[in-house]
Chain A
Amino acid sequence: MNAQALRIALVGNPNCGKTALFNLLTGSRQKVANYAGVTVERKEGQLIAPSGRSYRLLDLPGAYSLDAASPDEAITRDVLAGRRDGEAKPDLIVCVVDATNLRLHLRFVLEVARLGRPMVLALNMMDAARRRGIEIDVAGLEKRLGVPVVETVAVRRGGAAALVERIDAMHNAYPAPPAANGDNDLHRQVRGLLEATVRVPAQASRVDEAIDRWALHPVFGLALLGAMMFLMFQAVFAWAQPLMDGIDAGVTALGAWIAGMLPAGSALHSLVQDGIFGGVGTVLVFLPQILILFLFILVLEESGYLPRAAFLLDRLMFKAGLTGRAFIPLLSSFACAIPGIMATRSIADPRDRLTTILVAPLMTCSARLPVYTLLIAAFIPHRTVLDVFNLQGVVLFVLYVAGIASAMAVAFVMKKLRRDKSEHALLMELPAYRVPHVRDVAYGLWQRVKIFLRRVGGIILALTVLLWFLSSFPSPPPGATGPAIDYSLAGMLGHALHHVFAPIGFNWQISVALIPGLAAREVAVSALGTVYAMSGSDTAVATHLGPLIAHQWPLATALSLLAWYVFAPQCMSTLAVIRRETNSWRNVALAAGYLFALAYLASLLTYQIASAFT
């Protein structure tokens, strides 16, 4: 990007259509990263005017006020004032407002205007305003504000042409708004502006009200939410399956093909096939689930439903020390904690966000299912209880509930332990319903995928190679009879760990298998297969492994391992994402530490009690 290009900052209230406008102006020429030191998304893009001139466009986080109430708003305030290190003061501020919500949005415009920086006002969503019969005297508004005012429709192709033309025509000779007239009551000024320049029909749109009457109804609203979540889960688990199988097969085949070109039996061959492709493949396989999950979340977000769900569930979540906004991230964590933790960015309060991130791994992610399935099938008798329930199903349900209950308990304890006990604000705007725009959903989805893939390619790849190294070296001595992993560093570590795990009933085979399971939880199943010297696909291993462990392990050990997996701290990818999202190793240590402690405690209790009874 051209360093001399003028810098334009887009600002506006949340829900003013600013991001849609940003997408329209920059197209695919976007760079998404974080502001240094904080996990606030920084979006920059390149705007090329028809004249050929290019501009650097920065999409600042939405803000209601420069009196910042969240890390996002603090960034907006600091960048606008030129106080943020590493961010040049913007040459021009484009203030975006929703033309149907001027009373709220114009107050922020006046606040920004007081900075005295060159500024243009974009009256966005003019199509919706016209439909509602709202008439705006643009010339009058321009005269009173003393800055250019341009109408835009961000969801229409060419809907920002007038804005680009205006910006380009004034090239670097942008007028700054006149000095404040001394009236400190911004609301009074807004009222004056509206009276002079805007005509709103007496009867505003009643569509939203009609939808909300059902969507927020204490009974129908909750039923609708339940149905929507059911559909989402159905999609995540059923529709994603063929794609997941495809990726699994594809990655395995590619790994085998590349490894085939390397000398068989060499360390390099094993590194490529088992280390890189095997390890990364187990994480990559979750991509379809993550895509479908984010598709649902983005559509719900764009349509304006998400804050409604938060509204319905806020009380329940608040009692547990969370916030209604934590609902979607936690729900996503049932598929995988990685997208769940990524989705916590919508939580404004940093304390609520941290609590949500820390309890997200307690939601039973889909990677735990293979482990649960193996153990339940092997140890829990296939029997009907109370005439209707399948005992195996009941146990699985109990495991899910145990995860949710412990998340609630942990959140509650965190709330009690927190030193900063000032009130957590909800104060959440419920925006007007909108039909989600394909382009904006697609961009959002693509950005999530990029973040996920970058993570898989970076830290997760590094960790899987490290784990492969631990499980492969040193190689077994000639004439060794046991499985190779038994002689490796991981094997030694497993044997050493066995002393730690003996009180909770784990034998050395389980202790060894837990180490490769660090890459992804379900890898523990194939690792157990390896330890018991089996080979073949995961399914084949699981089929043979079941009867074997059913024969060899006491029931107490199996129950203890199930309890362990409710907490299962050993997922490197989750810990890596916590590091990325909270920017702190302390939080990683906190998460790993408390999960490990809970897992150990739960397994210890389970094992000791079960041993006493069996």
Chain B
Amino acid sequence: MIAPGPGPSPLRQQVALAQPFIQWSYNAKHSYSRPVCAVRLSDLPKGFQAVVDAVEAAHDDDRIARRLRDLGFVAGETVRVVARAPMGGDPLLVQVGTTRFALRRSEAARVQTLEAGASA
């Protein structure tokens, strides 16, 4: 199964190419703040917070997409990439609500998020 969506390009590059007007700033807590864009959860850098827009099915009868929704990946929910595994950053550890899930990149790519915001 090929992951839907863009490859593992870092958010920064991707956004810089697509929306060059976005201002990036590096805050005192060593993380970027105030980016506003649509990005897949799989491309969200570590430490970033975003709001789920939708979970997209990769194909008909996508059990993984259904399960993601059951686990709380639903519109309006805040998600954050807490950690990435060694060896290529896959899988990633995502916090949704008070729960943490390990998602493979192809799984996280189904989650479309909006408005990455500042995070601690």
Contact in complex: B98, A204 (CB < 8 Å): yes
Say yes or no: is A430 at the interface (Cβ < 8 Å to chain B). Answer: yes
Contact in complex: B93, A212 (CB < 8 Å): yes
Beyond known contacts A64-B70, A104-B71, A427-B103: 4 more, CB 8 A cutoff: A64-B67, A324-B102, A427-B102, A427-B107
Q: Among B58, B71, B91, which residue has its beta carbon within 8 angstroms of that of A311?
A: B91
Minimum CB–CB distance for A372 against chain B, Å: 31
Say yes or no: is A488 at the interface (Cβ < 8 Å to chain B). Answer: no
Minimum CB–CB distance for B39 against chain A, Å: 20
Query: 0/1 per residue, B63-101, Cβ < 8 Å to A?
Result: 110111111101001000011111110110100011111
Contact in complex: B93, A216 (CB < 8 Å): yes
B84 cross-chain contacts in A, Cβ below 8 A: 218
Minimum CB–CB distance for A3 against chain B, Å: 36
Please judge, given known A-B contacts A64-B70, A65-B67, A311-B91, whether A222 and B86 are in contact too, CB under 8 Å. Answer: yes
Please judge, given known A-B contacts A103-B99, A425-B64, whether A187 and B85 are in contact too, CB under 8 Å. Answer: no
Minimum CB–CB distance for A186 against chain B, Å: 9
Q: List 24 A-B contacts (CB under 8 A).
A: A65-B70, A67-B67, A101-B99, A103-B72, A104-B98, A212-B82, A212-B93, A213-B83, A216-B85, A221-B86, A222-B86, A311-B85, A311-B93, A312-B85, A421-B1, A422-B1, A425-B67, A426-B102, A427-B103, A429-B99, A429-B102, A430-B93, A430-B100, A430-B101
Say yes or no: is A318 at the interface (Cβ < 8 Å to chain B). Answer: yes
Minimum CB–CB distance for A62 against chain B, Å: 13
Minimum CB–CB distance for B85 against chain A, Å: 6
The residue among B1, B66, B87 with the most chain A CB atoms within 10 A of its own CB is B87
Minimum CB–CB distance for B48 against chain A, Å: 15
Query: 0/1 per residue, A416-451, Cβ < 8 Å to B?
Result: 000001110111111000000000000000000000
Minimum CB–CB distance for A610 against chain B, Å: 37
Q: Among A107, A209, A216, A427, which residue has its beta carbon within 8 angstroms of that of B101?
A: A427
Say yes or no: is B104 at the interface (Cβ < 8 Å to chain A). Answer: yes
Say yes or no: is B33 at the interface (Cβ < 8 Å to chain A). Answer: no
Say yes or no: is A361 at the interface (Cβ < 8 Å to chain B). Answer: no
- Taken together as a complex, chains A and B put the C-alpha atoms of A187 and B102 apart, in Å, by 21
- Specify the chain B residue showing the minimal Cβ separation from A215: B83
Say yes or no: is A314 at the interface (Cβ < 8 Å to chain B). Answer: yes
- Specify the chain A residue showing the minimal Cβ separation from B64: A425
Minimum CB–CB distance for A463 against chain B, Å: 41
Say yes or no: is A601 at the interface (Cβ < 8 Å to chain B). Answer: no
- Specify the chain B residue showing the minimal Cβ separation from A425: B64
B77 cross-chain contacts in A, Cβ below 8 A: 187
Minimum CB–CB distance for A14 against chain B, Å: 11
Contact in complex: B99, A104 (CB < 8 Å): yes
- Taken together as a complex, chains A and B put the C-alpha atoms of A212 and B83 apart, in Å, by 8
Q: Among B70, B86, B104, B107, which residue has its beta carbon within 8 angstroms of that of A312?
A: B86
- Taken together as a complex, chains A and B put the C-alpha atoms of A316 and B86 apart, in Å, by 10
| Interface size, chain A (Cβ < 8 Å) | 38
Minimum CB–CB distance for B55 against chain A, Å: 12
Say yes or no: is B119 at the interface (Cβ < 8 Å to chain A). Answer: no
Contact in complex: B97, A104 (CB < 8 Å): yes
Contact in complex: B102, A307 (CB < 8 Å): yes
Minimum CB–CB distance for B12 against chain A, Å: 20
- Taken together as a complex, chains A and B put the C-alpha atoms of A103 and B74 apart, in Å, by 12
- Taken together as a complex, chains A and B put the C-alpha atoms of A422 and B63 apart, in Å, by 10
- Taken together as a complex, chains A and B put the C-alpha atoms of A430 and B70 apart, in Å, by 16
- Taken together as a complex, chains A and B put the C-alpha atoms of A324 and B63 apart, in Å, by 20
The residue among A104, A204, A307, A421 with the most chain B CB atoms within 10 A of its own CB is A104
Contact in complex: B104, A318 (CB < 8 Å): yes
Say yes or no: is A100 at the interface (Cβ < 8 Å to chain B). Answer: yes
Say yes or no: is A315 at the interface (Cβ < 8 Å to chain B). Answer: yes
Contact in complex: A315, B88 (CB < 8 Å): yes
B107 cross-chain contacts in A, Cβ below 8 A: 425-427
- Taken together as a complex, chains A and B put the C-alpha atoms of A138 and B83 apart, in Å, by 35
Q: Among B70, B86, B91, which residue has its beta carbon within 8 angstroms of that of A107?
A: B70
Contact in complex: A425, B88 (CB < 8 Å): no
- Taken together as a complex, chains A and B put the C-alpha atoms of A209 and B80 apart, in Å, by 12
Contact in complex: B102, A315 (CB < 8 Å): no
A213 cross-chain contacts in B, Cβ below 8 A: 83
Contact in complex: A315, B72 (CB < 8 Å): no
Query: 0/1 per residue, B38-57, Cβ < 8 Å to A?
Result: 00000000000000000000
B85 cross-chain contacts in A, Cβ below 8 A: 216, 218, 311-312, 314-315
A126 cross-chain contacts in B, Cβ below 8 A: none
Minimum CB–CB distance for A230 against chain B, Å: 18
Contact in complex: B100, A429 (CB < 8 Å): yes
Query: 0/1 per residue, B1-20, Cβ < 8 Å to A?
Result: 10000000000000000000
A212 cross-chain contacts in B, Cβ below 8 A: 82-83, 93, 100
- Specify the chain A residue showing the minimal Cβ separation from B84: A218
- Specify the chain B residue showing the minimal Cβ separation from A185: B74
Contact in complex: B91, A426 (CB < 8 Å): yes
Q: Among B64, B70, B72, B74, which residue has its beta carbon within 8 angstroms of that of A423?
A: B64
